[in-house]
Amino acid sequence: MPDNYLIRQSKSFATGLHHDSFDFILSVNIMPSLVPATVTTMQQLSQWFQTSADAKIWGGPDFQYPCSQDVFEQQAKWQEIPSWGLVDDFGALLGFGQFYLRNQRCHLARLVVSPNKRGQGLGKMLVNALLAQGMLQLGCNEASLFVFRHNQGAYSLYKKLGFTVDMTGPEHTLYPDIDYLIYRQAE
In a domain, 14, yes or no: no
Asked whether the beta carbons of 122 and 85 are under 8 A apart, the reply is no
In a domain, 7, yes or no: no
End-to-end alpha-carbon separation of the chain, Å?
9
Peptide bond connecting 66 to the previous residue in cis, omega within 30 degrees of 0: yes
Tens-digit pLDDT profile for residues 11-53: 444 444 444 455 444 445 468 999 999 999 999 999 999 999 9
In a domain, 17, yes or no: no
In a domain, 38, yes or no: yes
| Residue 77 belongs to domain spanning | 32-184
Q: How far is CA 154 from the centre of its chain?
A: 10
In a domain, 26, yes or no: no
Asked whether the beta carbons of 106 and 97 are under 8 A apart, the reply is no
At 28 the pLDDT is: 52
Domain count, the chain: 1
The whole-angstrom separation of Cα 86 and Cα 94 is 5
| Digitized pLDDT (tens) for each residue of the chain, 187 residues in all | 443 333 333 344 444 444 445 544 444 546 899 999 999 999 999 999 999 999 999 999 999 999 999 999 999 999 999 999 999 999 999 999 999 999 999 999 999 999 999 999 999 999 999 999 999 999 999 999 999 999 999 999 999 999 999 988 777 667 788 999 999 988 7
In a domain, 80, yes or no: yes
Cβ–Cβ contacts within 10 Å for residue 53, how many?
Answer: 12
Full-prediction pTM beyond 0.85? no
In a domain, 106, yes or no: yes
In a domain, 13, yes or no: no
- HEC string of 80-139 equals CCCEEEEECCCCCEEEEEEEEEECCEEEEEEEEECHHHCCCCHHHHHHHHHHHHHHHHHC
CATH number where 164 lies: 3.40.630.30
